Chain A
Amino acid sequence: MSSSVTLAQCRDGPTVIIEVSGEIDMGTSPLLLQLIEEALGTAPVLKVSLRGVDYMDSSGVAVLVQGQKLATDLGRDFRILDPSPQVLAVIRMARLHQVFTIENSEETTG
Chain B
Amino acid sequence: MPHPDRFSITVPPQARYLKPLRAFSSSLLADRCSPDADLLVLALDECCSNIIKYRCASLGENQIQVHIEIQDDCVVFRIGSFCKTDDLPMIKSRHPREDRPGGLGIHLIAEIMDRVAFEPEPGRPECMALILEKRFHTKNSPDE
Q: Which residues of A contact B (CB under 8 A)?
A: 1-4, 23, 25-27, 55, 57-59, 61-62, 65, 86, 89-90, 93-96, 99
Q: Which of B17, B20, B42 contacts A57 (CB 8 A)?
A: B42
When C-beta atoms are compared, the residue in chain B nearest to A30 turns out to be: B15
CB <8 Å contact, A93 and B111: yes
18 residue pairs of the A-B complex, CB under 8 angstroms, read A1-B16, A1-B17, A1-B19, A2-B16, A3-B19, A4-B19, A23-B22, A25-B18, A25-B45, A26-B53, A27-B15, A55-B22, A57-B42, A59-B105, A86-B38, A94-B104, A95-B95, A95-B97
Interface magnitude class on chain B: 20 to 34
CB <8 Å contact, A26 and B15: yes
Please, how many angstroms separate the alpha-carbon atoms of A68 and B7 in the complex? 40
Contact A95 to B96, CB < 8 A, known contacts A57-B42, A61-B104: yes
